[in-house]
Chains A and B, each alone.
Chain A
Amino acid sequence: KAGVTQTPRYLIKTRGQQVTLSCSPISGHRSVSWYQQTPGQGLQFLFEYFSETQRNKGNFPGRFSGRQFSNSRSEMNVSTLELGDSALYLCASSSDTGRSPRYEQYFGPGTRLTVT
């Protein structure tokens, strides 16, 4: 099976712009989570989607949003970019069925976002 894929791998944006990152989960996985990784704050949970519904959300401002499509692919959007949004954004998928949560999350390679 192919792993989790994320596009693009690298991105440079200017303050005030918005950005959309994409994630394709492992085939058959319906749960997709997003994490932000920075040297200062480490790995922080953004949100999780299952069957197109956001089930869980981390402590991030409303500028960070996401969605999931019927094929389980997910996108996250950051509006009005700030310098502090520079980070590695990681997507993870899980085989959680929605009835019996499975906690193994498989991560993609990440999208490196640089805000100038």
Chain B
Amino acid sequence: AQSVTQLDSQVPVFEEAPVELRCNYSSSVSVYLFWYVQYPNQGLQLLLKYLSGSTLVKGINGFEAEFNKSQTSFHLRKPSVHISDTAEYFCAVTSNSGYALNFGKGTSLLVTP
């Protein structure tokens, strides 16, 4: 089975500063990795995904992530955050063996002026 660990439960950052949200996964098989964002009282929105190919993945709203197989990581980055990026971010993993997404506990990103 696959699992995901999000290393930071909360990340405070100032507006226009860079940010990295960390995600490590464990799996004995090939994996597919995702980052989702959840704004208050809303569902989950897909930010980006890694299925195969280039290890640097670009997503919506200026976010990107790098798949690192040797370090089993899939960290999310943004070079300059906005107040509107304040939300909960979830890393998720799945594989060919199932259709379920296994989510991390989430990282709360708080952007302040």
Contacts and interface: CB of A to CB of B under 8 A. Distances in A.
Interface string A91-116: 01010100001011111111000000
Contacts of B96: 101
A103 B102 CA distance: 12
A94 B34 CA distance: 14
Interface in B1-48: 32, 34, 36, 41-46
Contacts of A92: 44, 101
Contact of A104 (B46, B105, B106): B46
Interface stretch (A42-50, A65-73, A77-85): A42-50
B86 interface: no
Interface residues of B, number: 24
B41 to A, nearest CB: 8
B105 A103 contact: no
A28 interface: no
Contacts of B56: none
Contacts of A105: 46, 101
B99 A90 contact: no
B99 A58 contact: no
Q: What class of interface size applies to chain A in its complex with B?
A: 20 to 34
Contact of A107 (B43, B94, B102): B43
A110 B51 contact: no
29 contacts: A31-B99, A33-B99, A35-B103, A42-B103, A42-B106, A43-B101, A43-B103, A43-B106, A45-B100, A45-B101, A48-B99, A48-B100, A56-B99, A56-B100, A90-B44, A96-B99, A103-B32, A103-B51, A104-B34, A104-B46, A105-B46, A107-B43, A107-B44, A107-B45, A108-B43, A109-B41, A109-B43, A110-B42, A110-B43
Interface of A: 4, 31, 33, 35, 42-45, 48, 50, 55-56, 58, 90, 92, 94, 96, 101, 103-110
Interface of B: 32, 34, 36, 41-46, 49, 51, 90, 92, 94, 96, 98-106
